Amino acid sequence: MNMKPTLIAAAISLLAFNAHSAGPEFHHQPHAAGIETYGYTWNSPDQDMNRALAYKASAQRGKSAYKICKGCHKADGSGQASADYPQLAGQHATVIIKEMMDIRAGRRDNPRMYPFAGEWIVSAEEIADIAVYLNHLPVNDSNDKGNGKNLALGKSLYDKDCASCHGGNGEGDARKFYPRVAGQHYEYLLRETHESRDQGRRNANPEMVKVLKSYGDADIEAVSDYMSRLLPAKK
Amino acid sequence: MTYPTAKFLAAVALLGGGLSLVSAALAESPAATAAANVCAGCHGADGNSVATTFPKLAGQQNKYLLRELMDYKSGKRVSEIMAPLVADLSESDLAELAAYYAKQKPAPGVAGASALMKAGKNLYLKGNSKTDVPSCDGCHEENGNGDGKFPRVAGQHVDYVLDQFRLYAAGKRTNGARVMQAVAERMSEQEARAVAEYMASMP
């Protein structure tokens, strides 16, 4: 290597460099067709998802890969209710994988999390590892709950309209990609139920959306409060 | 690989780099020679730089150092200072340099403005959920030592760190994981300074 003095001088004069001007759009979440699109099929085949689902995942590797997520979802996977960071502890691995892939592909909008969810920081295999790790973590039952005033209404709505998929105790169904709702933060349940009804959650299940069409805000509050208090058998 | 050592060292001496630290003990391999002759002027003989806009390299993660050096060489990480310095070094030279600095003992951090320390620690360990800044401890570890591709941040110079935050936020440092661009974009200036002070103070 031949270092010319001029080059050195130039290098040194550059030490007082300054970063300014707005940069290009990095980490912008892509947008893929969702429930707002005619002909939408929920959970249609996805290559990355199949790769993650087929992978022989390890909770031990997942524990280490999960450090990328901890900064928001917390070390114990309990999330942060005030910021709508959902509890992930105890969630089905299949559901975590599906949601991650939907966010990566832009079928579920989540610009807040997107920079921390792309393939530049976490591979499909690591997602599978993280998913089994989280599934094994105990649900933190000091989750955020509603005001407790309309639990009877909440229960009757839930048993009639929701239990068939989300389970009598909110346990969901791993095989069918139905999320566990028991022990989830009230604020988050409220938000996702609203968004699902109003088609803001674009990867929602159309049958669930149909059920929600007749729901007013008070119904959604009652059923969300009820779900937040469900606790299936401990693992 | 021949460096016009005298001229270069004369130039960097003006910067106040601690040349007296360059010890003969380093001259055992081409990489060690480069480290002693070229890099030491800015980064210190043992990677504990004195000038605050030159990053400390001592004890930095090996994997991280190598990737950054390769990226300077390919231009993925843009630095008009570093690029010409690594242009003629081979990957194995760079690997040796990375390994050399990773093995050096980091000098202990220095406690900065105490008024910001508490806020900095809070951001480092808790993040700011109002603006979706995740806490830093997950990726950089609670003690700031990093792990593999996640760099050590403990004891790093405040000025260098603030420069990097500016580069990230302006989309000018894009070689790594995009996570830091989001982190830097979402921090206020006050938060950036506070967390930089806190990191600089970590042992």
DSSP letters for chain B:
----HHHHHHHHHTTT--GGG--GGGTTSHHHHHIIIIIHHHH-TTS--SSTTSPP-TT--HHHHHHHHHHHHHTSS--TTHHHHHTT--HHHHHHHHHHHHHSPPPPP----HHHHHHHHHHHHH-BTTTTB--SHHHH-TTS--BTTB---TT--HHHHHHHHHHHHTT---SS-THHHHHHHHS-HHHHHHHHHHHHH--
- Do both A223 and A157 map to the same domain? yes
In a domain, residue A188? The reply is: yes
Q: Indicate yes or no: CB of A1 within 8 angstroms of CB of B87.
A: yes
The reply to whether B83 touches chain A by the CB within 8 Å rule is: no
Which residues contact residue B81 at a Cβ distance below 8 angstroms, ignoring those fewer than 6 apart? A11, A14, A15
Quick check: A88 pLDDT over 70?
yes
Q: What is the pLDDT of residue B68?
A: 98
Q: Indicate yes or no: CB of A8 within 8 angstroms of CB of B8.
A: yes
Percent of chain A with pLDDT over 70: 87
The reply to whether B7 touches chain A by the CB within 8 Å rule is: yes
Residue of B nearest to A24 (CA): B171
Residue window 59-88, chain A: list those with CB within 8 Å of chain B: 67-72, 75, 80, 82-83, 85
Q: What pLDDT digit, counting tens, does each position of B2-31 carry? A: 333 333 333 343 343 333 333 444 446 777
In order of A202, B134, B168, B190, the CA distances from B123 in angstroms are 33, 8, 18, 11
Q: Which domain holds residue B195?
A: 114-201
Mean pLDDT of A123-140: 97
In order of A73, A169, B116, the CA distances from A193 in angstroms are 20, 18, 41
Size of interface A-B (CB pairs under 8 A): 111
In a domain, residue A3? The reply is: no
Phi and psi dihedrals of B133, rounded to 5?
-90, 115
Q: What is the pLDDT of residue A163?
A: 98
Quick check: B83 pLDDT over 90?
yes
Residue window 33-62, chain B: list those with CB within 8 Å of chain A: 38, 53
Q: Indicate yes or no: CB of B171 within 8 angstroms of CB of A20.
A: no
Q: Indicate yes or no: CB of B15 within 8 angstroms of CB of A82.
A: no
Q: Which of these three, B103, B123, B141, is where a domain ends?
A: B103
Q: What pLDDT digit, counting tens, does each position of B135-183 carry? A: 999 999 999 999 999 999 999 999 999 999 999 999 999 999 889 999 9
The CATH number of residue B17's host domain is 1.10.760.10
The reply to whether A10 touches chain B by the CB within 8 Å rule is: yes
The pTM is what? 0.91
Percent of chain B with pLDDT over 70: 86
In a domain, residue B119? The reply is: yes
- Do both A157 and A129 map to the same domain? no
Percent of chain B with pLDDT over 90: 76
How many domains does the structure of chain B reveal? Answer: 2
Complex ipTM more than 0.90, yes or no: no
Q: Which domain holds residue A92?
A: 47-136
Quick check: B196 pLDDT over 70?
yes
The reply to whether B136 touches chain A by the CB within 8 Å rule is: yes
Q: Which of these three, A111, A136, A161, is where a domain ends?
A: A136
Quick check: A80 pLDDT over 80?
yes
Quick check: A169 pLDDT over 80?
yes
- Do both A157 and A131 map to the same domain? no
The reply to whether B81 touches chain A by the CB within 8 Å rule is: yes
Question: Which band of pLDDT confidence, cut at 50, 70 and 90, is reported for residue B109?
Answer: confident
- Do both A98 and A170 map to the same domain? no
In a domain, residue B109? The reply is: no
Cα three-residue angle B183-B95-B196, rounded to 5 degrees:
25
How many domains does the structure of chain A reveal? Answer: 2
Q: Which of A7, A14, A26 sits opposite B181 (nearest CB)?
A: A26
Quick check: A23 pLDDT over 60?
no
The reply to whether A13 touches chain B by the CB within 8 Å rule is: no
In a domain, residue B166? The reply is: yes
Residue of B nearest to A16 (CA): B53
Residue of B nearest to A72 (CA): B134
The reply to whether A115 touches chain B by the CB within 8 Å rule is: yes
Q: What is the pLDDT of residue A234?
A: 61
- Do both B97 and B121 map to the same domain? no
The CATH number of residue A94's host domain is 1.10.760.10
Quick check: A100 pLDDT over 50?
yes
Q: What pLDDT digit, counting tens, does each position of B115-137 carry? A: 899 999 999 999 999 999 999 99
The reply to whether B134 touches chain A by the CB within 8 Å rule is: yes
The reply to whether B88 touches chain A by the CB within 8 Å rule is: yes
Q: Indicate yes or no: CB of B132 within 8 angstroms of CB of A67.
A: no
The reply to whether A14 touches chain B by the CB within 8 Å rule is: yes
Quick check: A20 pLDDT over 60?
no
In a domain, residue A108? The reply is: yes
